[in-house]
Chains A and B, each alone.
Chain A
Amino acid sequence: MSTTLSTQGREGAKARSHEELCASAPSRLGVESSPPANTLFRQWTGPLTADLVRAPGEFGLGQVPARLKPDATTTMVCGFCSTGCGLNVHLKDGQAVNLSATSDYPVNLGMACPKGWEALTPLAAPDRATTPLLRNPATGKLEPTDWDHAMQVFTLKFKAIMDQHGPESVAFLSTGQICTEEMAFLGALWKFGMGALHCDSNTRQCMATSAVAYKQSFGFDAPPFTYADFEESDVLVFVGANPCVAHPIMWQRVLRNRRNPEIIVLDPRATETALAATQHLPLAPKSDLALLYGVAHLLIQNGWVDKEFLAAHTNGFAEFAEFVREFTPDAVAAQSGLTVGQIYRLAESVKPGKRVSFWWTMGVNQGHESTRTAQAVINLALLGGHIGKPGTGANSITGQCNAMGSRLFANVTSLLGGHDFANPEHRKKIATTLNIPESVIPMKPSLAYDQILQGVADGKIKGLWVIATNPSHSWIGKGRDGYGDTAFDTLLAKLDFLVVQDMYHTTDTALRADLVLPAAGWGEKEGTLINSERRIGLVKKVSRAPGEALADFHIFRLIAHYWGCGAMFTEWTSPEAVFQILKRCSAGQPCDITGIEDYRMLDREGGVQWPLSKEQYSVFSNQCSVGESAPERPSSLKTEHCLLNTSSRSERRLFADGQFFTPDRKAKFLFDLPREAADKPCEEFPFILLTGRGTSAQWHTLTRTGKSDILRQLAPSELLLELNPDDARRLRLRAGDTARVASRRGELTARVHVTATVRPGQVYLPMHDAATNRLTFPAFDPHSRQPSYKFCAVSVHRTDKETRR
């Protein structure tokens, strides 16, 4: 190489700019000479220059802004999405001053998306709730009060409502954004301590479908994959998923795949991911179920199935094969708007012989028949035997940072630890584990989110407690006729008592509350989050909560005390104490985590995937003694402790043995005939409205990401309606015009963004504007009760102003 280097000019430059990259880089690239001395005419240095000086940050950080140089660092898991990235928090006197992505965390390998990079900024927002706020009936305004008074009002009001209308007259709506220990405390307090029943969380809006689909098909809510599967696949099929925008760090793992993979995207829109794929199938909205059955039809017809796997590890294949006979390529092509060739190519791509993995997220989960759609994906994986092996799986990518914690430990739809409320043995086990009377554990299931709100509309639910979620922004079909004739804006006014527990007193929902409880946020408390690949990660206290804001955990402790059921929770003194309780609850379950010692072990290992039972732990411990080198992991991922530090242990998948969690250990084929979506386009409302994420810099209802100047800059400043050029021409709308978008339930105005990434007859709106859900249609999957955010009929018109032009 040195010979090529000796040539100057064009040829030399070519060689140098690329060929040398593979040579080992020297430690320094040029000399950073000290700047020339200031002269009368030229000031090279001074106070303004000093503001930007960078200095070695130490702690393996490289250079950092000199004025933010840390005196310690610590790694914690990000609190936005379910990817669960490790963030290296830079600390000064114990307080977070900056952060960067952790390079030795097995999830993100030194990377983060904009939300992660800005995770600390929303903590410092001026509209943080700093004291409890109580609405003064005289003035109608929220006024500061103290915790003692707030707690007395809370208990008085809820007890009064429950005394008068029974325990089923109150409900809580919680979140996938708080720690597992907090969710468990809330669920236990509500059902066992306070004797209430109805509760749900916003995970209903994003993950309920996956949970139900897995539970029915595999016998347990068990996403089987590890992120390493992104790198190990030959074929990746993304169904209703746009990881480029929604999960950028998962897309990073896809791009690290060195097997030259086929990347297939099923999405009505030409999303960023679709455009980066090798096959994009722009199927008609909500034709996904028929299409997936059609692919199954082709696989079975051509014998592209793993017969041994089907026979040994599945139930219902014969019935399924019979069922999909009618989903012929021609019929499915007509329904989905795809060509027979496209469908055939998709089927051929996922036949056995290669490592095929299927990945779905909200495009599947938020549908009117979403559970069967998710199971149609699972069925395809079962047909090819694409499960339990590297680079395979029917994999649900979760939404929120702790949706997975909620699914197992929130005590909402399943009893603590993925148990069944209806199962007497499970109730007994949990009662014994928690040392509580079995009688306090309800047998009845709770109402789902939409049923709770319907209960509010019907006057049956009188008291509502909203924790770290914002339904006034995010709930579906908020326009007129959403609930009978009730629009969401007036729905909450029907309540006798609305409590909102949140970091901010300014969320759309908090503004309507009777009582606001100020909560500490991510980074201001301890606890664990469980990510999409079942990895339990740690949240640490690196920032002081403002004013009298308290961790949700502390608030639940207070409520238990004031309610008078504190005795039931004497052991629930700290998040880590509750973690120990949850370990005991998980014993013997598929999600057994009894092998995790404590928080320090989670910290040491870069998070631990469930399951890790005591038995697995001792096997791993025996296999390697402390100090042994770790051959399977790159040196950059070295950890001091070697328990899990080989990739085979730190990145584990389920079902390698083909044993599922059903009673007969076999996976089930589940299917149903597709049904048409209810809110169909017509002459008056000719367009189909699709909704979803806007940019990687926005999170849900923007209560946090909206607080960061830089994140706000990375997102459009106004609501953009994506419209196909053909439709734009027909409607005489140009880019930048204002359009009125209306559904049968409500309307909004949006700036027109003309792009061929949406197909004619379809429009797209991001979900981050509260107005979007005035339009959506409240349809729900019958199994998961998940709302169908991605299909409703709308009209698009020029506004009066544009008409004049």
Chain B
Amino acid sequence: MRPLHQAAPWDGANPGARSLVDALLDEQRQLTAVEAFARAHERHEITEPHYRKLLPASAPRPGEQYAFEVDLDKCSGCQACVTACHSLNGLDDGEAWREVGTLFGEATMPCETGGNRVVPLQQTVTTACHHCVEPGCLEGCPVLAYDKDPLTGIVRHLDDQCIGCSYCILKCPYDVPKYSEARGIVRKCDLCHGRLAAGEAPACVQACPNEAIRISVVCVTDVVSTFRSASVEAGVKVGRCESVTASSSLSDSLTFSPAPVWLPDSPSPRITLPTTRYVSKKPAADLRAADHSLPKPQHPHWPLILMLVLTQAGIGGLLASRFVGTKSLPLELVSLAFLFAGLTASVFHLGQPLKAWRVWLGWRTSWLSREAMALNAFAGAATVAVAARWLPPLTNYYLLITLSLAAAALGAVFAQAMVYADTHRAFWSLRHTAPRFFGCVLLLGPALALALQPTAPIALALLLATLLKLGCELAVLKHADSDSDRWTQLRRTAALQTDALRPVFSVRLLAALVGGVFIPFTIATGTASSALAMSAFAVCLLGELAERYLFFTSVAPDKMPV
């Protein structure tokens, strides 16, 4: 071992031998910690962990599962949990499975001099995966890439099964799964299951300087009854945590007075039944996230925009082709082309397209699986319907084929709408999604037909469809103006469409008025030019793309505080 005292081997008196710069550069390149301080790596024993009291005594029994428990009174917002999760789990740059947000508010307190005074409130909140009783991610996954461990209740993600469709991100109310561009899959918190199995605490529990995070065992029926009971409303809830008294050998008392059953200004726990318990001795207060009134446009998901609009155009065109008489072949072929183009576009949404063939696996619970199956069924039916004209035995069943095609279309578009409705976001509820999706079919079908056969009845159908659809779309704007302090999801959506997304909204409106109202009206009243009809379709398609862009970007789900 080289003593640290010893200088770089450089002889100042004999400068010819070696330059000091070289000697120092050499010395700089030596790593000496192991050599000089051998003590640490001789010790292999695990010292008694400080976090023992933050772990439950035993594994869950049937009907129970592991859960995070956060003492809000101890969370000081230092965010060590986030960085420890990142480091101790070896995550990618910028990746962490825990987040810390802040809620703000004011409370009125009695003043010593009489009267009341307003005092500021602030609550930092650490959150991770809630390992829900009914995990939205798991139910939505089309390829069964999630597994809720029957013994521990830990919701694990199977990274090698994932196709990177990101539907779990939309399904999780808490924005827990995170997509990795580099890997083409999502990853999420696994409650450090291996650490727990070895009697070690998860990274965040180990790293919280204030012991604000612990692992507890919760009774599943308890979670269900807490969050599904009638008294629990979405939004701010005041309730009573179970009063639990710890034995006196625990240094800090675990008796909790009334506390929020769930966090204010965050997604409703009724959707997926999160198991994390947030406890506090402070009185419940009306706290808000800093960005409560600050909606931000969401990701547009271009492949999904294209997939939805093009498949719906194709479906509309194929349905329309059944009504335009015998010269329908060009319309059928063009519609099929749109349909398959849309199906192709969906592949670009996937991080792991080669694994996409498993997409039907989740059909029992996943509307995405069902959508994929229904769309492919429709595509099959449509191909048969088009091919029927060359297949003599089938030509006699025109009505039957039309009816099955209509049924398949209904099923496919309904499944498409349900994919979004099932995320429990207000703007994506069936009430808002169904008119858009079915309306798109009813609008682009005639528009496509018109482009190929500019006739007055088709023009009128287009005009009617446009007006109906536009009416449904604009209905959401009635939520925009409100004097209330509280922002609902739909108010945020309306605010986004009229403010940050106003240019797109204007394009959408203009396109509908020109392509769906003005041109069809002109055609219906006499001027039937093929070029005009084509342009009507083009403008309508643009309008629908803009509508779908707004559909994705102006959705404003409740979210955990940032």
- Which residues of A are at the interface with B, using a C-beta cutoff of 8 A? 1, 8-10, 12-14, 16-32, 38, 41-49, 51-52, 54, 56, 58-65, 67-68, 71-76, 88-89, 91, 94-95, 98-101, 103-104, 108-114, 117-118, 146-148, 151, 244-245, 248-249, 251-252, 255, 258, 270, 272-273, 275-276, 339, 341-342, 520, 524-526, 540-545, 548-551, 554, 557-558, 561, 566, 570, 573-577, 580, 598-600, 603-604, 635-636, 638, 640, 695-697, 709-714, 725, 734-736, 753, 755-757
Contact = CB atoms under 8 A, between A and B. Distances in A.
Interface of B: 4-8, 12, 19-21, 24-25, 27-37, 39-41, 43-50, 52-61, 63-64, 66, 69, 73-74, 76-80, 82-84, 86-90, 93-96, 100, 104-106, 112-113, 118-122, 124, 144, 151-152, 158-162, 183, 185, 187, 190, 192-200, 206-211, 214, 216-219, 221-222, 225, 242, 244-247, 249-251, 254, 277, 290-294, 358, 361
B124 A54 contact: no
A564 to B, nearest CB: 12
Given A550-B25, A570-B12, A74 B199 contact: no
Nearest to A150: B21
Given A62-B46, A117-B84, A709-B94, A736 B294 contact: yes
B250 A117 contact: no
A636 B47 contact: yes
A172 B186 CA distance: 51
Contact of B160 (A20, A43, A72, A88): A43
Contacts of A714: 79, 82-83, 100
Contacts of B84: 100, 112, 117
A541 B88 contact: no
B120 A30 contact: no
A147 B41 contact: no
A14 B33 contact: no
A20 to B, nearest CB: 4
Contact of B194 (A54, A104, A576, A599): A54
A59 B39 CA distance: 11
B276 to A, nearest CB: 12
Contact of A755 (B53, B94, B122, B246): B122
Contacts of B222: 9-10, 13
B206 A62 contact: yes
Contacts of B206: 62, 110
Contacts of B82: 114, 710, 714
Given A59-B44, A711-B83, A21 B210 contact: no
B52 A65 contact: no
13 contacts: A14-B244, A16-B217, A18-B246, A27-B199, A62-B198, A111-B80, A112-B84, A112-B207, A114-B79, A114-B83, A576-B4, A577-B7, A757-B104
Contacts of B361: 41-42
Contacts of B56: 16-17, 20-21, 25, 29
Contacts of B88: 63-65, 100
A251 B76 contact: yes
Contacts of A13: 64, 217-219, 222
Question: Which residue of B57, B66, B190 has the most chain A CB atoms within 10 A of its CB atom?
Answer: B57
Q: Which 3 A-B pairs have the closest CB atoms?
A: A65-B90, A13-B219, A46-B160
Given A526-B4, A710-B82, A23 B57 contact: yes
Question: Which residue of B24, B28, B87, B242 has the most chain A CB atoms within 10 A of its CB atom?
Answer: B87
Contacts of B33: 74, 76, 89, 91, 94, 540-542
B218 A17 contact: yes
B84 to A, nearest CB: 6
Contacts of A113: 78-80, 209
Nearest to A36: B147
A310 B47 CA distance: 46
Contacts of B27: 554
Given A17-B218, A550-B25, A110 B144 contact: no
Given A32-B198, A74-B34, A117-B86, A18 B209 contact: no
B361 to A, nearest CB: 6
Nearest to A753: B290
Interface of A (DSSP majority class):
mixed
Nearest to B221: A9
Contacts of A258: 251
A342 B111 CA distance: 11
B529 to A, nearest CB: 43
A42 B194 contact: no
Contacts of A16: 56-58, 64, 217
B247 A22 contact: yes
A244 B76 contact: yes
Contacts of A42: 144, 158, 161, 361
Contacts of B32: 526, 540-541
B443 to A, nearest CB: 34
A10 B219 contact: yes
Question: Which residue of B8, B183, B185, B194 has the most chain A CB atoms within 10 A of its CB atom?
Answer: B194
A48 B183 CA distance: 8
A95 B36 CA distance: 14
Contact of A60 (B21, B45, B83, B195): B45
A9 B246 contact: no
Contact of B197 (A12, A32, A108, A540): A32
B122 A29 contact: no
A67 B158 CA distance: 19
A117 B47 contact: no
Given A45-B160, A244-B76, A275-B122, A544 B29 contact: yes
Contacts of B247: 1, 19, 22
Given A22-B246, A117-B84, A558-B24, A48 B291 contact: no
Contacts of A575: 4
Contacts of B28: 520, 524-525, 544-545, 549-551, 554
Contacts of B120: 270, 275, 755-757
A244 B121 CA distance: 15
Nearest to B87: A117
B6 A574 contact: yes
Given A29-B58, A89-B33, A756 B74 contact: no
Contact of A557 (B19, B24, B30): B24
Contacts of B208: 111
Given A41-B361, A54-B195, A72 B104 contact: no
Contact of B39 (A25, A549, A603): A603
Given A20-B57, A117-B86, A713-B94, A697 B79 contact: yes
A245 B193 contact: no
Contact of A554 (B24, B207, B358): B24
Contacts of A64: 88, 90
A305 B384 CA distance: 98
A445 B246 CA distance: 62
B37 A74 contact: yes
Given A27-B199, A272-B76, 6 more contacts: A18-B244, A22-B246, A68-B90, A543-B31, A545-B29, A554-B27
B43 A48 contact: no
Contact of A21 (B79, B187, B207, B246): B246
Given A22-B246, A60-B44, A49 B207 contact: no
B234 to A, nearest CB: 22
Contact of B80 (A18, A151, A248, A709): A248
A33 to B, nearest CB: 8
B393 to A, nearest CB: 36
A29 B199 contact: yes
B2 to A, nearest CB: 10
A275 B106 CA distance: 12
B219 A72 contact: no
B40 A73 contact: yes
A14 B218 CA distance: 8
B41 A73 contact: yes
A62 B246 contact: no
A130 to B, nearest CB: 12
A17 B243 CA distance: 12
